[in-house]
């Protein structure tokens, strides 16, 4: 799903990256989408396995204590887990990382 829906590769490119035929890729993506839809609509858990993909999360920096950290809970986007102050910013906005986080803060102070 990541290759097709997020990276926007076509079916042939996805199959090539996964070292499977196009038909096998189509079967895999159909099954994954069905399982995801069922889990989301019925409140089931989703277990992700296979491959060697690790999500990359944007890091945040606290301007008060200098702590650089990955978010572990929603509130870490707004308050530093070390010092508890709200002087935090996504490292992308501070020009310290290469990814753009979808922070969606309404009150960017920096």
pLDDT in tens, 37-56: 999 999 888 887 766 655 55
CB-hemisphere CA count at 13 Å for 57? 12
Q: Are 60 and 72 in contact (CB under 8 A)?
A: no
Q: 11-18 and 22-42 are packed helices; what angle lies between their axes, rounded to 10 degrees?
A: 100
pLDDT at 92 over 70: no
Percent of the chain with pLDDT over 90: 38
Which residues, in sequence order, are bridge partners of residue 62?
A: 88
Helix, strand, coil share of the chain (percent; to 5): 35, 10, 55
Q: Which of 23-27, 40-44, 85-89, 98-102 has the highest mean pLDDT?
A: 23-27
Q: Structure tokens of 63?
A: 């301007």
pTM, full prediction: 0.46
CA 40 to each of CA 5, 19, 34, 37, 44: distance values in angstroms, whole numbers, following the listed order: 17, 29, 10, 5, 7
């Amino acid at each position: 799903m990541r290759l097709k829906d997020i990276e926007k590769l076509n079916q042939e490119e996805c199959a090539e990256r996964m070292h499977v035929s196009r038909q096998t890729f189509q079967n895999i993506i159909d099954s994954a989408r069905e399982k995801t839809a069922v889990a989301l609509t019925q409140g089931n858990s989703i277990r992700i396995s296979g491959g060697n993909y690790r999500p990359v999360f944007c890091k945040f920096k606290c301007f008060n204590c200098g702590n650089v950290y990955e978010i572990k809970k929603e509130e870490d986007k707004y308050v530093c887990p070390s010092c508890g102050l709200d002087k935090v910013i996504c490292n992308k906005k501070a020009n310290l990382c290469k990814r753009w986080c979808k922070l969606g803060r309404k009150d960017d102070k920096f």
